[in-house]
Structure 1
Amino acid sequence: MKIAILSSHTSSLFWFRMDMMKDFIKEGHTVIALGSEPEENWKSQFKEHNIDYRQLNVDRNGVNPLKDLKTFRTLYKFMKKEKPDKIFAYQAKTVVYGSIAAKLNSISEVYSLIAGLGSIFRGDGFKNKIVKTIMKIEYRLACKCSKKVIFQNQDDKCEFISNGLIKEDKTAIIDGSGVNLEKFKPTPLPSSPSFLFIGRLIKDKGIMEYLEACKDVKAKYPEARCLLVGPYDSNPSALRSDELQPYINSGVIEYFGEQSDVRPFISQCSTFVLPSYHEGTPKTVLEAMAMGRSIITSDAPGCRETVTDKLNGFLVKVKDIQGLTIRMEELISSNELRIDMGKESARIAREKYDVNIINKSIMQIMGLI
């Protein structure tokens, strides 16, 4: 079969969905990947894996209706020309416009993944309320055009059902995107306690809480390291460089920018920290778990699924800087605790989040096996 994978972020396609696309190909299917970035930058990299890459004109965080119309037209023309047998779409705009474009081209095999509800959907304020209302209408249409809508946590699924966007019999649940256990293997913990945050530098990821907690921790334990990996972003809640720079200048944070391979940085940390306000299931947490790291994350949708509190890490309240600081200090004070929690993380990753298990679930949902 010909399968189209739609995303509004090319890097996410390449780094987070490659294992899935490879498994599709192993089963004898043809894969076409559509993302936001130019073909000259990515086509050869996808081609190495026998995947045809096409650029999709999409403004991931924009609200310009003319640009969105252009995105829809591009997808409609693609569907009409290529006539894919099945479509796997994730991220808001490609889910919405991709599923509707498919329906108008009589393509019924559309599988939409809701990998977390963003800041607009869970936020407050008058402008946010207007955008949220529009998004609900769009998501309701997308769900009607999809054969199955896949969620990564129960909170997001219940949110859609309670808002009347979808009926339960049209939903499916998977345990995140999974983690490649051949690539992410346990490594020895560093001799000194160290913390790491990996993610886009947006405030909904809990970046400010992490920075402030690190400032408090470093004041008491100057030997502890606090690492930060991730790109600046165009999201409305994005952190500005002038907001981060004081933490770098004061030595609170070691900032390494965006990295194509995060394993060397996970190896440098003893604990992975992600105090996000909401997620689908955070892939960075799964990667850190697979490498045997203790986890501190928030008791929030998508995050809470990855941690059994006090077993492989700690759950803290959303936006609770003091609670986050206390848990970081607790792990600093006990090397044995860091080791034991790291071992539990690796075990959970093997048993629950192996990418082969997740991809098999996706292929069963899509009727590919």
Structure 2
Amino acid sequence: MVIKKKLFIVTTVPMSFVFFKGQLLKLREKFDVTLISSPESALYETADFNKVKSHGIKMAREISLFSDLVSLFKLLLYFYKNRPDLLHANTPKGSFLSLSAAWFCKVPTRIYYVHGLRYQGTNGLKKKLLMSMERISCFFATDIIAVSKGVREVLHTDKITKEKIKVIWNGSANGIDLNYFDPNHSDVKNIRPTFAIAEDDFVFGFLGRLVRDKGINELVEAFNQLNGEYSKIKLLLVGSYEDHLDPLREETISVIKRNNNIIEAGVQYDVRSYLNAMDLFVFPSYREGFGIVLMEAAAMNVPAISSDIIGCNEIIEDHVNGFLIPPKNHTVLYEKMKYALENKDTITTMSQVPRDLISAKFEQRRLWEELLKFYDKIAY
């Protein structure tokens, strides 16, 4: 009987294990998997569902010296006691702490999976500190994987590391499940009547965290301006606010609350019907590692306006399955949204191609195959 090697997968908070949906079932076939994250119910539910082990260690998302030292000490003890063969580190804080602990405990294989670059959204001392954390994480890793070619390029350009960085297939953390994200799936419903959206309304949509970094201030401002000029338009916002981490401007909140054509749908576990209600997905984010929601929208045959930033511009081909615009630019966003309203035939034509493009580059099972080949190479 072959004894499976121990694989520890670490994230700061358990909601990040969404990156491993379905993938954990494949990984447990080859490895003895343990999920490590802050001790929240989502950690234990994810582990139970995937029939893998779990261990809770509280880790703060923001920099907190005392809390971070306590977390590091607990990771050191756990690694020393349980002796993993491989560490798969994700999210900036979880990676920094776990890679540091794994290096000290001489864990043989230490994988740093870079999903995004947190320092890109900061300035001054905090930016320097976050960049230093990235450099330390890369130094302690034996293998570095970037979620996209753009992230790989920036890691080298910003002199975070000189080491070789791997991108699995065409990138993304988990690919896209085209059987699930299918506009013809039986679970996809017409939710427009639920929100009093008429069939001839043109719906702009957003899915994700309703925060400054996602460009929500610019999106709401652009839509509010369009709403004064055009009738039969709606803005569907699917997601939650994070006022304690990245709050929106007060005037943005005010517009959202008073404009009856802006619809707050809140957090939704199954987003497919909401994507299906959109004519055009709008994603004016300031920074991304990849832009998973763009893949999900494209799989549902919804074209997009997206910021021309790393990751996103590997999913959206300008004037093919959407439009690329500079981030943090309300005027250009407004003009592109206006163009969409005045050229609906172009949007309809675009809606025929996104799914095929996504299938060719990011189909989930093909990505899993390439990922497992990588694991086999470095672990056995």
Is the pair's TM-score, using the shorter chain for normalization, greater than 0.5? yes
Match of 1:59 in 2: 60
Cα shift readout 1:308-357 (whole Å, capped 9, x = no counterpart): 10000000111122221222222223443223212221011101111222
The secondary structure found in structure 1 opposite 2:144 is strand
Match of 1:23 in 2: 26
Unaligned runs of 5+ in 1: none
Q: 2:333 aligned with 1:332, yes or no?
A: no
Match of 2:327 in 1: 318
CA distance in 2, matches of 1:246, 1:97: 40
Contact 1:114–1:150 (Cα < 8 Å) also in 2: yes
Q: 2:183 aligned with 1:186, yes or no?
A: yes
Match of 1:97 in 2: 97
CA distance in 1, matches of 2:55, 2:125: 33
Match of 1:360 in 2: 369
Extract structure 1 runs of 4+ deviating beyond 4 A.
187-191, 240-243
Q: Which stretch of the first structure deviates more once superposed, 91-100 or 238-247?
A: 238-247
Amino acid at match of 1:238: P
Match of 2:264 in 1: 255
Specify whether residues 201 and 333 from structure 1 end up closer, same or farther in structure 2 by C-alpha distance, changes over 3 A only.
same
CA distance in 2, matches of 1:44, 1:116: 26
Unaligned runs of 5+ in 2: 191-198
CA distance in 1, matches of 2:231, 2:34: 50
CA distance in 1, matches of 2:329, 2:128: 29
The secondary structure found in structure 2 opposite 1:343 is coil
Q: Which stretch of the first structure deviates more once superposed, 153-162 or 211-220?
A: 153-162
CA distance in 2, matches of 1:37, 1:197: 30
Contact 1:111–1:366 (Cα < 8 Å) also in 2: no
Number of residues of Structure 1 aligned to a counterpart in Structure 2: 360
The secondary structure found in structure 2 opposite 1:107 is coil
Match of 2:36 in 1: 34
Amino acid at match of 1:150: I
Specify whether residues 46 and 218 from structure 1 end up closer, same or farther in structure 2 by C-alpha distance, changes over 3 A only.
farther
CA distance in 1, matches of 2:312, 2:71: 31
CA distance in 2, matches of 1:42, 1:86: 19
Q: Which residues of 2 match residues 238-249 of structure 1 at below 5 A? A: 238-239=247-248, 243-249=252-258
CA distance in 2, matches of 1:244, 1:16: 30
Report the RMSD for the aligned CA atoms in angstroms: 2.3
Q: Which residues of 2 match residues 1-369 of structure 1 at below 5 A? A: 1-13=5-17, 15-25=18-28, 27-39=29-41, 42-60=43-61, 62-118=62-118, 120-124=119-123, 129-172=124-167, 174-177=170-173, 178-187=175-184, 191-233=200-242, 236-239=245-248, 243-367=252-376
Specify whether residues 234 and 192 from structure 1 end up closer, same or farther in structure 2 by C-alpha distance, changes over 3 A only.
closer
Specify whether residues 163 and 333 from structure 1 end up closer, same or farther in structure 2 by C-alpha distance, changes over 3 A only.
closer
Amino acid at match of 2:120: F
Contact 1:299–1:318 (Cα < 8 Å) also in 2: yes
Contact 2:220–2:252 (Cα < 8 Å) also in 1: no
**Given the two structures, how large is their TM-score scaled by the length of structure 1?**
0.90
Specify whether residues 347 and 30 from structure 1 end up closer, same or farther in structure 2 by C-alpha distance, changes over 3 A only.
same
Q: Which stretch of the first structure deviates more once superposed, 187-196 or 225-234?
A: 187-196
